[in-house]
Amino acid sequence: MSSLQFYNTRTRTTEKFIPQHEGEVKLYTCGPTVYDYLTIGNWTAYVYWDILVRLLEANEYKVHRVMNITDVGHLVSDADDGEDKLEKGARREDKTAWDVAKFYGDDFLRGMQRLNLKQPEYITKATEYIPQQLELVRTLGQKGYTYQIDDGIYFDTSKFPTYADFARLDIDAQKAGARVEFNQAKRNASDFALWKFTPSGETRDMEWDTPVDLLKGDATRKGFPGWHLECSAMAMDLLGTTLDIHTGGIDHIPVHHTNEIAQSEAATGLRFSNYWLHNNHLKVDGTKISKSLGNGYTLDDLEAKGYTPQDLRMFILQSGYQTEGNFTFENLTSATHRLHNWRRAAVLRHQLHETVDEQRDNRVPAYAASQALTEVLNDNMNTSEGLAHVDRVLGEVLDSTASYIDPRALTEFLQHVDNVLGFELITSTPDIGDNAKQLILERRRAREDKNWTKSDILRDTLATQGITVRDTATGSLWEYK
Ligand SMILES: [Zn+2]
């Protein structure tokens, strides 16, 4: 089998995938900040990383995966300015930040199920890893990477010489550009907060005592973790110092991931992740998704318009993960048709036992079709080609005379498509009941008797049960409407 390869942001090249331990993959996915419903733009990333897990498993890797839920510390600006998104959400809804995190965190988990996303081995909430995060601050302090200013404990990026490498940042330009805006108490524009203090005179819903040994002077301060720190602390606590793959959105490269790398590698002296995979953005009608435009559709918005989460999955996978996607309802509708066509082929497996001729050569689909799908996806998760492959295989099945179709090979192929692409073709296409089968039989007899009136009545009865019948040279085949 062709080997698995990915475009690695760290090296800017496509590389053969080699994990640290044979047969095992340590994978970290940056998860959502749970202060609002996820939009289709957010879900796009999680659908792609679901394919990554499925593909690794198809290549017989055991996947140890951590996905975080950011429920504290992600400020309105990805840098260290502005309000905490959770505290802002709490004010908007007149709830506590804890309630907001619980509500949208649960909604995220439900959304994962609706989209048939594989459950990671660990889903970790930042608020449940505060001691590990403080320990990382402590280690960095002991190694001389931190300093304290009035609003928090910061990482001194000038002490980490390779800071700019990952994102190929131009630090001088950044300094010049940031001079006006950045917190003047910071030593360098790119320095970031590991631990922020609750401003004096204020109380936050989410705050913790800062251990006294981390503080300069003898004042006690309440505080909360920086968003970047959370990912490093949880990833290393559960997966060890070096990950095989770290995933996230391309917008995370210059700040969030750059900072994760700096603090993790400064603490351990080891590489934080061997492979970094980044998904591109989704636009809607050619424009960026934004609150003000009201184009940040949720799963509920799509369902209200008659689309299923599986339709969205199909839409997303039509583009590769590195391609900028463009969502329109027209594109979503065409994805819906594509999925419908796959299901038309999937229901054939219930109808072929009588007609299949095991002795025939050139039966479809070929048993090699499943393997070929994995091979296409192995090339940097090429989902658009993967879908085209499924189109070809199932298209051939739909175009074939029933006696050429091998129901066992078809079932096996559908199962494989479900495993690697997550479409639930098998469970979404159950057999019809005996009553409907009886009606189809009666309709066929009526047609043989040229009793068109009766045949039409039976066709209409079947239609009310969501079943249509098409007549072929070798018999009648049913499908879902
Ligand atoms: Zn992260």
Residue 228 Cα to ligand 1 middle (Å): 6
Residue 30 Cα to ligand 1 middle (Å): 4
Q: Above 70 in pLDDT, residue 282?
A: yes
Mean pLDDT lowest among 61-70, 165-174, 197-206, 304-313 = 165-174
Residue 103 Cα to ligand 1 middle (Å): 21
Is 167 in the same domain as 309? no
Tell me the CATH number at 229.
3.40.50.620
Give the residue-averaged pLDDT of 175-187.
Answer: 68
Residue 459 Cα to ligand 1 middle (Å): 55
Residue 193 Cα to ligand 1 middle (Å): 14
Does residue 426 sit within a domain? no
Give the residue-averaged pLDDT of 246-259.
Answer: 95
Residue 423 Cα to ligand 1 middle (Å): 28
Residue 149 Cα to ligand 1 middle (Å): 24
Is 336 in the same domain as 464? no
The pLDDT assigned to 174 comes to: 66
Does residue 291 sit within a domain? no
- DSSP code for 435: H
* % of the chain at pLDDT higher than 90: 78
Question: What is d(CA 248, CA 48) in angstroms, rounded to the nearest whole number?
Answer: 10
Residue 173 Cα to ligand 1 middle (Å): 25
Is 266 in the same domain as 138? yes
Residue 88 Cα to ligand 1 middle (Å): 20
The pLDDT assigned to 417 comes to: 98
Is 312 in the same domain as 336? yes
Q: Above 80 in pLDDT, residue 171?
A: no
Give the residue-averaged pLDDT of 109-119.
Answer: 98
Residue 331 Cα to ligand 1 middle (Å): 30
Domain boundary among the residues 216, 250, 279 is at 279
Q: What is the mean pLDDT of the chain?
A: 92
pLDDT (tens digit per residue) in 462-473 = 999 999 998 877
Does residue 285 sit within a domain? no
Give the residue-averaged pLDDT of 202-223.
Answer: 90
The pLDDT assigned to 355 comes to: 54
Residue 89 Cα to ligand 1 middle (Å): 20
User: Phi then psi for 408, rounded to 5 degrees?
Assistant: -70, -45
Residue 280 Cα to ligand 1 middle (Å): 16
The pLDDT assigned to 120 comes to: 97
Sign of CA dihedral 120, 126, 127, 131: positive
Does residue 284 sit within a domain? no
Residue 15 Cα to ligand 1 middle (Å): 23
Query: Does the pTM of the predicted model rise above 0.85?
Result: yes
Token couple for 17: 């995938």
Per-residue confidence at 82, pLDDT binned at 50, 70, 90?
confident
User: Phi then psi for 419, rounded to 5 degrees?
Assistant: -65, -45
Give the residue-averaged pLDDT of 334-350.
Answer: 96
Per-residue confidence at 64, pLDDT binned at 50, 70, 90?
very high
Per-residue confidence at 75, pLDDT binned at 50, 70, 90?
confident
Residue 417 Cα to ligand 1 middle (Å): 30
- The DSSP H or E segment spanning 136 is helix 130-142
Name residue 334's amino acid.
Answer: S
Residue 468 Cα to ligand 1 middle (Å): 48
Long-range contacts of 84-91 (CB under 8 A, 24+ apart): 84/204, 84/206, 84/224, 85/33, 85/35, 86/33, 86/34, 86/35, 86/205, 86/206, 87/204, 87/205, 87/206, 88/35, 89/35, 89/36, 90/205
Residue 318 Cα to ligand 1 middle (Å): 26
Residue 31 Cα to ligand 1 middle (Å): 7
Mean pLDDT lowest among 74-78, 92-96, 301-305, 370-374 = 74-78
The pLDDT assigned to 356 comes to: 57
Token couple for 212: 């006294």
Does residue 288 sit within a domain? no
Residue 466 Cα to ligand 1 middle (Å): 45
Is 383 in the same domain as 446? no
pLDDT (tens digit per residue) in 265-275 = 999 999 999 99
CA contacts within 13 A on the Cβ side of 224 = 23
The pLDDT assigned to 402 comes to: 80
Per-residue confidence at 2, pLDDT binned at 50, 70, 90?
confident
Does residue 429 sit within a domain? no
Closest CA to 59 of 415, 378, 442, 380: 378
How many structural domains comprise the chain? Answer: 3
Is 417 in the same domain as 438? no
Beta bridge partners of 223: 197, 208
Domain boundary among the residues 217, 248, 279 is at 279
Give the residue-averaged pLDDT of 417-424.
Answer: 98
Is 159 in the same domain as 221? yes
The pLDDT assigned to 181 comes to: 60
Is 134 in the same domain as 257? yes
Mean pLDDT lowest among 8-17, 40-49, 228-237, 347-356 = 347-356
Is 270 in the same domain as 315? no
Is 191 in the same domain as 161? yes
Residue 50 Cα to ligand 1 middle (Å): 17
Per-residue confidence at 257, pLDDT binned at 50, 70, 90?
very high
Q: Which residue has the higher pLDDT, 407 or 391?
A: 391
Q: Which residue has the higher pLDDT, 475 or 286?
A: 286
The pLDDT assigned to 175 comes to: 62
Q: Above 70 in pLDDT, residue 358?
A: no
Residue 326 Cα to ligand 1 middle (Å): 25
Q: Which residue has the higher pLDDT, 306 or 404?
A: 306
Mean pLDDT lowest among 34-38, 89-93, 154-158 = 89-93
The pLDDT assigned to 73 comes to: 78
Does residue 206 sit within a domain? yes
User: Phi then psi for 190, rounded to 5 degrees?
Assistant: -85, -5
Residue 139 Cα to ligand 1 middle (Å): 20
Residue 257 Cα to ligand 1 middle (Å): 7
Per-residue confidence at 385, pLDDT binned at 50, 70, 90?
very high
Give the residue-averaged pLDDT of 203-223.
Answer: 90
Domain that holds residue 308: 299-421
Per-residue confidence at 169, pLDDT binned at 50, 70, 90?
confident
Per-residue confidence at 337, pLDDT binned at 50, 70, 90?
very high
Does residue 294 sit within a domain? no
Mean pLDDT lowest among 114-118, 210-214, 355-359, 437-441 = 355-359
Residue 227 Cα to ligand 1 middle (Å): 7
Is 317 in the same domain as 394? yes
Residue 229 Cα to ligand 1 middle (Å): 8
* % of the chain at pLDDT higher than 70: 95
Residue 283 Cα to ligand 1 middle (Å): 22
Longest dimension (CA), the chain: 98
Is 125 in the same domain as 208? yes
Residue 433 Cα to ligand 1 middle (Å): 49
The pLDDT assigned to 186 comes to: 92
Q: Which residue has the higher pLDDT, 219 or 233?
A: 233
